[in-house]
Amino acid sequence: DIQMTQSPSSLSASVGDRVTITCRASRGINNFLNWYQQRPPKAPKLLIYAASTLLRGVPSRFSGSGSGTDFTLTINGLQPEDFATYYCQNSHTAPYTFGQGTKLEI
């Protein structure tokens, strides 16, 4: 199985900051990497697919990059609604594992 490892597990930041979350796959997954945001108690929401493609309607302050095994999610100019937990997901090979999550806190 492909293991997805996110870092950091938690992150403290302030409104207006720029933050970067990394996701590493245990073997290459090309760009088959999705990023989701979850604000409890809600269901996750897709932000980015194919490692770097923003879902329509997602603010442009979100961006993704990477290919192979190393990926990043960057948020430029944090807004209050961005404080949430973020997950990466391998969509290359079943089981379609998620990272353990990164909790972004004020």
Partner 1 sequence: QVQLVESGGGVVQPGRSLRLSCAASGFIFSTYTMHWVRQAPGKGLEWVAFIRHDGSEKGFVDSLKGRATISRDNSNYTLHLQLNTLRIEDTAIYYCAKAEIYTGWFLDRWGQGTLVSVSS
- Among the listed residues 65, 64, 60, the one whose alpha carbon sits nearest the alpha carbon of residue 77: 60
DSSP codes of every residue in 46-66: EEEETTTEEPTTS-TTEEEEE
Maximum Cα–Cα distance across the chain: 38
Among 12, 18, 46, 105, contact with partner 1 (rule: CB under 8 A) = 46
Which residue, 17 or 93, is less far from partner 1 as judged by CB?
Answer: 93
Q: How far apart are CA 13 and CA 106, in angstroms?
A: 5
In the region spanning residues 64 to 93, those forming contacts with partner 1, defined by CB under 8 A, are: 85, 87, 89, 91-92
Out of 14, 16, 43, 81, name the contact with partner 1 by CB under 8 A: 43
Q: Which stretch binds partner 1 (CB under 8 A): 11-19, 36-44, 65-73, 76-84?
A: 36-44
Q: Which residues contact partner 1 by CB under 8 A?
A: 1, 31-32, 34, 36, 38, 42-46, 49-50, 55, 85, 87, 89, 91-92, 94-101
